[in-house]
Amino acid sequence: MAKLKGGLLEKLVPVLLVASIGLAFAVGVLWQKVSQLEGGGTKVPTTTTGANDSGNAAAQPQAASKLSNLEGVVSTIGVDVNKYKSCVEAGKYKDRVENDYQGGIQAGVQGTPGSFIVNKKGEVWFVAGAYPYESVKQVIDMALGKGTGTLPQGVEKYSADKAAKLPKLTSSDHVRGDRNADVLLIEYSDFQCPFCQRFHPTAQQALDENKEVAWVYRHFPLDQLHPLARPAALASECVAEIGGDEAFWKFADEVFGS
């Protein structure tokens, strides 16, 4: 009996070892996929502070804390809370948020932030992830015809066919700056995404330091990762209904802490 048990154990040990290795590999792959999705799916050069920098994980609790008290955010920015509550309860903007999301999918967005830099010629550059300002500025200069260097690693200039899939600017888009600007920075974002929180001041800097640029915000809630993102997107639309784009951007600034 002892020999039988020993032989069985000897046979099981290799099987269990292989199974453990396989499980560890699967967990590693899953973690990598989640990181790519949340960070825009692009690995930014290690010489910059990019989308997949693990040091940004600390940003998550701050945004989540604010999003768990949306009425508090609304009150802080001076929007009528009762009107806001009525709007949210009516569920008026579910289609609007979903249309933004589907438009992002159509344009090639897989994670957040996913940004497009578009010039008057209709040329489109896709910036997937929380790139630093220096990289964003480099692409803006190219869009303005000022830059002749190579693109930052991971940034893609779209072909005409791919560029045509990016939804055009509409009157319902939330725009900070001049709608007729020479360059649009169209960001697909998620209010609970820590990388979006990092990119928010970068986009603001791009607007502040480049008079030819306007910033467009579109919703791309990653529901499986960020359960508070879609409710926040719906809240932001109600805020915009009550207070216009100025209130919308105040909401975004408050959530992202800028």
Q: What is the pTM of this model?
A: 0.79
Residue 117 forms beta bridges with which residues? Answer: 125, 185
Can you give the pLDDT at residue 158? 98
- Hey, where are the domains in the chain? 60-254
Can you give the pLDDT at residue 149? 77
Can you give the pLDDT at residue 52? 32
Can you give the pLDDT at residue 72? 96
* CATH tag, 60-254: 3.40.30.10
Can you give the pLDDT at residue 62? 56
Strands 156-157 and 124-128: antiparallel
Q: What is the mean pLDDT of each run of 10 residues along the chain (258 residues)?
A: 49 50 44 45 35 40 78 97 97 96 98 98 98 97 88 96 97 97 98 96 97 98 96 98 98 90
